[in-house]
Amino acid sequence: MTAVPPSAPPGVGEAERVARAALSRVFEPGDPRQTVLVAELGAEALCAHLLAEADLAGVRTDYGARLAATDGAQELERAARRGIRFVVPGDPEWPPGLDDLYGVAPVQDRGGPPVGLWVRGPVGLHELAGGVAVVGSRSASEYGAAVAGDIAAEVAGAGLPVVSGAAFGIDRAAHVGAVNAEGRTAAVLACGVDRAYPREHARLLGHLVDHGAVVSEAAPGCAPQRIRFLARNRLIAALTGSTLVVEAALRSGALSTANWASRLQRTLLGVPGPVTSAPSAGVHQLIRSGAATLVTSGAEVLEAVGRPGEHLLEVPRAPERARDRLTARQRQVLDGLPVHGGARVDSIAVSAGMGVVEVRGSLDRLARAGLVERDATGWRLAAAGRD
Amino acid sequence: MTAVPPSAPPGVGEAERVARAALSRVFEPGDPRQTVLVAELGAEALCAHLLAEADLAGVRTDYGARLAATDGAQELERAARRGIRFVVPGDPEWPPGLDDLYGVAPVQDRGGPPVGLWVRGPVGLHELAGGVAVVGSRSASEYGAAVAGDIAAEVAGAGLPVVSGAAFGIDRAAHVGAVNAEGRTAAVLACGVDRAYPREHARLLGHLVDHGAVVSEAAPGCAPQRIRFLARNRLIAALTGSTLVVEAALRSGALSTANWASRLQRTLLGVPGPVTSAPSAGVHQLIRSGAATLVTSGAEVLEAVGRPGEHLLEVPRAPERARDRLTARQRQVLDGLPVHGGARVDSIAVSAGMGVVEVRGSLDRLARAGLVERDATGWRLAAAGRD
């Protein structure tokens, strides 16, 4: 998003962590100016600058005023008391994938890596890198929700974490699918990790706090706002190695996550649906344009996201049929029979381009295999021979 | 299919045409040995050889015996009396696309260009080159049949012929869609063009004889046989510039046509469907593997098959919303409002990172646009502002 290269991870000295906690309260999530300034100055120095800045009339700038009213150490302590940790670069839990956000231009003025992430729950952020983000419409169809749940269950059941946004529709189906498979799942929120949004998902979020992870760039207590949803989408894409879109209407938030995944060189997958279904239109566009690979099952997702040689998938085949067990010349005789009605041996021999004697022998064998039968009009295909 | 290059189109002298008509009766459709021999010797010389050949006991070979019993001139005359023409290379109506079959290896012993095609109906074979083959499952779902019919209607309505195989399911839906749009449509059969197979489609085929075209490599009177279906699929792919697969179970005949289309470097398109629907599994595999491009509408088919610049399609977009007409800074204010509940001007100013005075002015303008509203708790998003 900027020309600034990711410098060596800043030390996780307490002062830097405290400064970042304060900045997290002052800047909106995904404000790319913050990213640039922190990369150039470090969080401590940036805080000092902001606190010292005043306008011509000697009045503190907005940011300075807000920073003066914020106590980073207290933020961290209050969070810790509620089981919330603040993960910053250099922490063992910091996922290097977030630093990929340095290389990608902002969208709608949101971009860059976060100064830190607030996390609740036993699953570590670094575990999510091998996981799959499952995203899609809030107004999902029954079809979409069912497929999202099934795929999430298969992915989580295979040991890969499922990451989503805890919204209605596909997000919820993905989390629930992973929970039912007793796999790991994490929700990245647009509000503070201590808030349940949407309210209807309070129990689900409570479960993730106990067994998975709830993650946010916004400081605890922050309300969900549009700008925070936009910023959140980039984190879902950056935290995981692959993003799967299951139903996304044209211009939905899920497409913004997909766009981030593409730009971050993540694996992008899409589940197709009926072309008559509006919630599938966005996914079809992603597949048509070549941005996403079409997948139809959890097994195909695992194949796409696995390390080379892992989760290898056989190309689906129909079950073997009696026909498959014939020799080439027996098949030739079978193919010489008319589709409807019967035929005499000599006419079948002409069709098959073979001698009458050989054809007669083959017909007996085909009859024993149940593929042909004989009646008054001659030899005809049996039901099994039609397949 | 062979090392033999397509020689200059053989003359359409009457003797060559008569010889080809006779060969068409003697060889099974798509017998690649015939292709090689006709290319090397010409049809007249091949007939002479076959008639002269005898085995050690002086008995005529199979082919010689059958050829001796066949009168090519009479075949042509009898066909002509029934409105059936026999189109051979060099005829103005001969589609050069059929000669592409020289370059492609046989599949299941079927391959190579036909020695000629038997045709009934006013549409010329050469007209089909710019057309679209619409193929798919005989056991199509209602969804698949509806989509095939809609797309065929749009394609045929735009002036491009629709080619299919007159089978149940997708084939029928495609022909009927084209007929309803008063467009051109042609059926390529596995039996003689004078036979109605399946019987249930006798009326449809009668309509094509009067207004479209019915085409076959098999001589008039020939019954539908498995081997002829295999041979027929290659013709559907070769006669047209593009093949669209709408529903194809794994290992269906439609996939054999798709495979021919790929190998002939034709445009291959596929309509997705629910991943839970078996008839869509084959199409999903074609799209996944990159063999086919996903399409969701007739417009997308037309864009894919048109000449450059023709049938250009706008990327589908959701309709414009009130939000789109705002300035960047007005949008910034709008994004500063909480998703639920109200907020005071100063809190919105903090969220938006803007001054209170400017935010106050913007809120008034946003209220006039119906995007925000004010109540006792402060400013909140109106329904239109949530979109």
Contact residues, B window 323-382, toward A, CB-based 8 Å cutoff: 332, 334-341, 350-351, 353, 355
Q: Tell me the pLDDT tens digit for each residue of A330-346.
A: 888 998 898 888 888 88
Contact list, A275 vs chain B (CB under 8 Å):
147, 271-273, 296-297
Residue A384 C-alpha, separation from nearest chain B C-alpha, in angstroms: 14
Residue A11: pLDDT band by 50, 70, 90 thresholds? low
Looking at per-residue pLDDT, the higher value among B313 and B329 belongs to B329
List CB contacts (< 8 A) between B226 and chain A.
334-335, 337, 339
pLDDT higher at B24 or B40: B24
Q: State the Cα–Cα distance between residues A162 and A166, nearest whole angstrom.
A: 11
Provide CB contacts within 8 A for B357, sequence distance 6+: none
CB-CB neighbours of B182 under 10 Å: 10
Q: Residue B3: its pLDDT value, please? A: 37
A338 to chain B: which residues are within 8 Å by CB?
A: 223-225
Q: Which pairing describes strands A185-189 and A213-216: parallel, antiparallel, or unpaired? A: parallel
Of A224-233, A294-303, B331-340, the range with the highest mean pLDDT is A294-303
Task: Give the distance from residue A98's alpha carbon to the nearest chain B alpha carbon, in angstroms.
Answer: 24
List pLDDT tens digits, range B348-362. Answer: 877 887 777 778 888
pLDDT of residue A345: 81
Per-residue tokens: B130: 């710019």
pLDDT of residue B369: 87
Q: What pLDDT is stored for residue B5 in this prediction? A: 39
* Cβ distance of A288 and B284 shorter than 8 Å: no
Cα of B63 to nearest chain A Cα, Å: 9
Q: What residues in A contact B272, CB-CB < 8 Å?
A: 272-275, 280, 284, 287, 294
Mean of the pLDDT values across residues A268-284?
Answer: 97
Closest partner residue to A225 (CB to CB) among B249, B316, B335 is B335
CATH class, domain A322-386, is mainly alpha
In chain A, helix, strand, coil percent, each to 5? 50, 15, 40
Task: Please determine, for residue B281, whether its predicted confidence score (pLDDT) is greater than 90.
Answer: yes
Does B6 score more than 60 pLDDT? no
CB contact under 8 A, B251 and A335: no
CATH architecture for segment(s) A73-305: 3-Layer(aba) Sandwich (3.40)
The pLDDT value recorded for residue A2 is 38
How many angstroms separate the CA atoms of A39 and A153, rounded? 39
Q: Which of B28, B29, B42, B40 is nearest to B2 (CA)?
A: B40
Per the CB < 8 A criterion, the answer to whether A352 and A335 are in contact is yes
Question: Tokens 């002015």 label which residue?
Answer: B361
Q: Which of residues 251-310 of B touch A (CB under 8 A)?
A: 251, 271-276, 280-281, 284-285, 287-288, 293-297, 300
Tokens of A59: 């009045």
- pLDDT tens digits for A144-203? 999 999 999 999 999 999 999 999 999 999 999 999 999 999 999 999 999 999 999 999
| Contact yes or no for A351 and B315 at CB 8 A | no
Query: Tens digit of pLDDT for each residue in B161-177?
Result: 999 999 999 999 999 99
User: Which DSSP state fits B159?
Assistant: T
pLDDT tens figures, A234-252:
999 999 999 999 999 998 8
Q: Which residue has the higher pLDDT, B75 or A60?
A: B75
Q: Distance, in angstroms, between B92 CA and closest chain A CA?
A: 32
Q: Other C-beta atoms within 10 Å of B279: how many?
A: 25
- A31: nearest CA partner in chain B: B353
Contact check, Cβ <8 Å, A336/B227: yes
Q: Is A207 exposed, middle or buried (0-12, 13-18, 19+ CB in 10 A)?
A: middle
**In the prediction, which pLDDT does A60 show?**
76
pLDDT at A309: 61
CA distance A158 to A152: 10
Q: Which residue of A has its CA nearest to B380?
A: A225
pLDDT at B127 over 90: yes
Interface test with A, best of B339, B354, B380 (most A CBs within 10 A): B339
When pLDDT is averaged across residues B281-309 and rounded to a whole number, the result is 92
Average pLDDT over residues B67-83: 95
* pLDDT of B236: 98
Q: B81-305 belongs to which CATH class?
A: alpha beta
> What mean pLDDT do residues A33-43 have?
88
- Could you tell me the pLDDT band of residue A7, with boundaries at 50, 70 and 90? very low
Lowest-confidence range among B128-132, B175-179, B325-329?
A: B325-329
**Segment B39-64, tens digit of pLDDT:** 888 999 999 988 887 766 777 778 88
pLDDT band for position B308 (50/70/90)?
A: low
Distances (CA, A) of B13 to A231, A377, B118, B125, B302: 75, 42, 17, 20, 39
* Residues A287, B272: C-beta atoms closer than 8 Å: yes
Of A28, A275, A296, the CB nearest to B275: A296
ω before B198 within 30° of 0 (cis)? yes
Nearest CA in chain B to A252: B318
> What residue type is assigned to position B121 of the chain?
G
* A251 contacts B317? CB cut-off 8 A: yes
What's the pLDDT tens digit per position in A50-106?
A: 888 776 677 777 888 889 999 999 999 999 999 999 999 999 999 999 999 998 999
Whole-number pLDDT of residue B219: 96
Q: Look at residue B315 in the predicted model and tell me its pLDDT.
A: 59
Mutation site for A-interface testing, chosen from B147, B199, B225 by largest number of A Cβ within 10 Å: B225
- Residue B134's alpha-carbon distances to B147, B198, B239, in angstroms, are 11, 18, 12
Q: Where are the domains of chain B?
A: 81-305, 322-386
What pLDDT, on a 0 to 100 scale, did the predictor assign at position B8? 41
Contact between B62 and A353 using a beta-carbon 8 Å cutoff: yes
Classified as helix, coil or strand, A353 is: coil
**pLDDT of residue B117 exceeding 70:** yes
Inter-chain residue contact A226 with B339, CB threshold 8 Å: yes
**Which H or E run includes A4?**
none
Question: Which of A271, A284, A287 is opposite residue B275, by nearest beta carbon?
Answer: A271
Looking at residue B160, its pLDDT comes to: 97
A145 touches chain B (CB under 8 A): no
Peptide bond into A106 cis (omega under 30): no
What's the mean pLDDT when you consider all of chain B? 90
Contact A336 B62 (CB under 8 A): no
Cis peptide before A198 (omega within 30 of 0): yes
Optimal mutation site among B227, B245, B251, B320, interface A, most CBs of chain A within 10 A: B227
Kindly give the pairing relationship between strand B117-120 and strand B213-216.
antiparallel
**For testing contact with chain B, the best of A339, A350, A377 (most B CBs within 10 A):** A339
Which residue from B197, B224, B350 is facing A66, i.e. has the nearest CB? B350
Q: How confident is the model at residue A295 (pLDDT cuts 50, 70, 90)?
A: very high
Contact between B225 and A336 using a beta-carbon 8 Å cutoff: yes
pLDDT band at A6 (very low <50, low <70, confident <90, very high): very low
User: For residue A225, what are the contacts with CB-CB under 8 A and spacing of at least 6?
Assistant: A190, B335, B336, B337, B338, B339, B351
- In contact, A129 and A241? CB cutoff 8 Å: yes
* CA pair distance A102, B93, nearest whole angstrom: 61
Check A281 against B315: CB less than 8 A apart. no
Nearest C-alpha of chain B: how many angstroms from A336?
Answer: 7
pLDDT at residue A5 in the model: 39
**Confidence at residue A103, expressed as pLDDT on a 0 to 100 scale:** 85
B354 vs chain A: nearest CA distance in angstroms? Answer: 8
Burial of residue A105, with CB atoms counted within 10 A of its CB: 0-12 exposed, 13-18 middle, 19 or more buried: exposed
Average pLDDT over residues B83-111: 93
What confidence tens digit (pLDDT) does each residue in B175-219 have? 999 999 999 999 999 999 999 999 999 999 999 999 999 999 999
Whether residue B380 is predicted with pLDDT greater than 50 in this model: the reply is: yes
Residues in chain B: 387
Nearest to B285 by CA among B270, B300, B298, B274: B270
Among candidates A28, A250, A293 on the partner chain, residue whose Cβ is nearest the Cβ of B316: A250
Is A284 in contact with B274 (Cβ distance < 8 A)? no
CA distance B196 to chain A (A): 12
Separation of alpha carbons B140 and B149, rounded Å: 12
For all residues of chain A together, what is the average pLDDT? 90
Query: Mean pLDDT across the stretch B253-261?
Result: 95
A284 closest CB neighbour out of B227, B294, B332 = B294
Percent of chain A with pLDDT over 90: 66
Q: What is the pLDDT of residue B280?
A: 97
How, if at all, do strands A242-246 and A267-271 pair? parallel
Summarised one tens digit per residue, pLDDT across range B219-250 is 999 999 888 999 999 999 999 999 999 999 99
